[in-house]
Amino acid sequence: MRTLYPEITPYRTDKLKVSDLHTLHYEESGNPQGRPVVFLHGGPGGGGQPQYLRYFDPQKWRVILFDQRGCGQSTPFAELRENTTWDLVEDIEKLRKHLHIEKWAVFGGSWGSTLALAYGVTHPHACTAFFLRGIFLLRKREIDWFYQDGASRLYPDAWEGYLKPIPATERHNMVEAYYQRLTSTNAHIRSSAAKAWATWEGSTSKLIPDDDVIAHYGDDVFAEAFARIECHYFINKGFFTEDNYLLNQVNKIRHIPAIIVQGRYDVVCPAESAWDLHRAWPEAELKIIADAGHSLSEVGITDALVEATDRF
């Protein structure tokens, strides 16, 4: 089984102003002369983490990691204005040009896979390969499964905590009810809702629930950006013009090498979406990991992704 490469320190850390309002934090790691790859973190609103750099051979890859609008070390924090899928797509392109990179590989899991696909179909000329994990196409049935009715049947104990901030009279539309609280002018209401929303995802991300992961998701600062930005994107249907937008556009990138890594027991982003993507993109290699959930750090998922980045 492949494991993560050792921890590394970025050789460059900088900022890029992408609009009058937003400034991105980004880092470059590995080999400055290596093959460039951009890492798209999850959420939206999750921010980058040092372990994300460890999926790549630092002697072979030039890894670019950035915090998307409103999260991590990008500013302003937890900002919803000028924060859409298409803003982020153009941020990626601005960063590529800023770094004078002709083409790069794109690595993304969960929401990162959504953004990778949106970027790819918009700028296919800039992509050399795709590493996709825990596929999320941001369709209505995917949102309904995890935030309205579906995953609750597998995690009824954690679901109670997710329901708690929302009165019974509003539970027919949980995303709308959360959106009202996550955009409240009352800081306590925002904080309580953010913590419950984020803890729900943290509780279901791994095949075997991990207390450290749950605590990380429930951290007040992390939860604020994560919950607000996720809910903002979901209530706006990912800012896509149709429910199957990404599947309907995938022909634009079918000529580009790709691997899809999916946990069989992924509750957050069920395997159905990875299967649907593979059927629309049969040239992409699909690996379903038999004993894994959603998390990037699941042993089988780590093995498949590191093997893929080594091979590519």
The pair of three-digit structure tokens given for residue 77, joined into one six-digit string: 């924090």
Q: Please give the residue range of the domain that contains residue 305.
A: 12-140+240-311
Tell me: the pLDDT tens digits for 168-178? 999 999 999 99
What is the set of active-site residues?
Answer: 110, 266, 294
H or E stretch at 287: strand 285-289
**Is residue 114 located within the same domain as residue 212?**
no
Tally of domains in the chain: 2
User: Please, what is the average pLDDT of the chain?
Assistant: 98
Query: Is residue 160 assigned to a domain?
Result: yes
Query: Is residue 78 assigned to a domain?
Result: yes
Instruction: Indicate the residue among 238, 266, 297 that finishes a domain.
Output: 238
Query: Is residue 6 assigned to a domain?
Result: no
**Is residue 184 located within the same domain as residue 207?**
yes
Tell me: the pLDDT tens digits for 126-156? 999 999 999 999 999 999 999 999 999 999 9
Q: What is the pTM of this model?
A: 0.98
Tell me: the pLDDT tens digits for 3-53? 999 999 999 999 999 999 999 999 999 999 999 999 999 999 999 999 999
Instruction: Indicate the residue among 176, 209, 238 that finishes a domain.
Output: 238
**Is residue 109 located within the same domain as residue 129?**
yes
Q: How confident is the model at residue 64 (pLDDT cuts 50, 70, 90)?
A: very high
**Distance from C-alpha of 271 to C-alpha of 261, rounded to nearest angstrom:** 10
- Per-residue pLDDT averaged across 198-226, rounded? 97
Closest to 298 in 3D by CA, of 205, 204, 218, 212: 205
**C-alpha distances in Å from residue 130, one per residue of 37, 197, 258, 302, 311:** 9, 30, 5, 16, 13
**Is residue 222 located within the same domain as residue 209?**
yes
pLDDT for the residue 205: 97
Which CATH number is 107's domain given? Answer: 3.40.50.1820
Instruction: Indicate the residue among 181, 212, 238 that finishes a domain.
Output: 238
Closest to 197 in 3D by CA, of 210, 176, 178, 184: 178
